[in-house]
Structure 1
Amino acid sequence: MNASMLLAVPSNNPGGLAAQVSGHFGHCDLFTLINIQEGKVASVDTVANLEHGAGGCVAPVNLLQDKGVGAIVVGGLGARPMQAFAAAGITVYYADQAALSKVEAAVSGMLAGKFPQMRPEQTCKGDGNCHH
């Protein structure tokens, strides 16, 4: 992770560092956006997720790209948004959902370099057995 970047974490309302991490990227209430400068949290903001229609997991990717997000940490993700993140230049990091309860844990893990970049073969296959 870069020393300075805008990190997104899919979150449940009301968002912020104390919020629960959402278990489903495309259906999260909102995204907590953490501005990291020199390896420290400089500011925290939120942005509401978009309505999730058919193929709607790409719309939030475009929203995050428009906000200047450079990375996102997720516990799972489908293949289409994974491809969209790659095209948008947003790095996707994987964190086991059992280890991620609060947004602040996601931020701490990112700052400590604990989360690997997610690989395409880790994406959900749309069979209903994936919780993202």
Structure 2
Amino acid sequence: MRIAIPTDYPGGLEAKISNHFGECDVFTVVEIDPKQTDFKNTKFILIENRNHLNCGALLLRLRKAGTNMIIVKKIGSNALEIIELEKIPIYAADGTVLQVLDKFRSNQLDQISKANICLGKEHEPPSSNS
């Protein structure tokens, strides 16, 4: 099983999950056997275009990497719709990649909910006009 997790730079097992699927620095794609406790290998996919309007292209890159599950902290409604159409299981979690994978192994991940959907504004810097 290959799990894609949007993470902060530089990615990897100790990286924190990015605040938003489409604006992450790196997707950490981890190949695991859910029945074993070790990782077969860890593959990192660098995301060059951080434009979250291009979620279809991000998903295509993840599909080419063999991803069959995605874990996010937050995601936009358009990206979520594309992922659901592709029938890729998607779960919500926070923490480091290693912490999230431990939750996965113990069946403690929650399926994505409305609380994990971004409306866009919360990722913009606050206005300097007070």
Runs of 4+ in 1 over 3 A off after TM superposition: 119-122
Query: Residue 101 of structure 2 aligns with which residue?
Result: 107
Contact 1:82 1:120 in 2 (8 A): no
Superposed counterparts of 1:37-52, under 5 Å:
37-40=33-36, 41-52=39-50
**Alpha-carbon distance between aligned partners in 2 of 1:121 and 1:14, rounded to the nearest angstrom:** 27
**Alpha-carbon distance between aligned partners in 1 of 2:52 and 2:16, rounded to the nearest angstrom:** 26
Structure 1 alignment gaps of length 5 or more: none
**What is the identity, as a one-letter code, of the residue corresponding to 2:119?**
K
Contact 2:7 2:26 in 1 (8 A): yes
Structure 2 alignment gaps of length 5 or more: 125-130
Query: Residue 68 of structure 1 aligns with which residue?
Result: 66
What is the identity percentage for the equivalent residue pairs of Structure 1 and Structure 2?
Answer: 25
Query: Residue 77 of structure 1 aligns with which residue?
Result: 75
Q: Which of the two has greater helix per residue?
A: 2
Label 1:124 to 1:87 Cα distance change in 2 as closer, same or farther (>3 A): same
Label 1:42 to 1:26 Cα distance change in 2 as closer, same or farther (>3 A): same
C-alpha RMSD over aligned residues: 2.1
Q: What's the TM-score, normalizing by structure 1?
A: 0.80
- Matched residues, number: 122
Query: Residue 127 of structure 2 aligns with which residue?
Result: none
1:45 CA displacement: 1.1
Q: Does 1:129 align with 2:122?
A: yes
Deviations 1:84-107 (A, max 9, x none): 111222111012x3xx1x111111
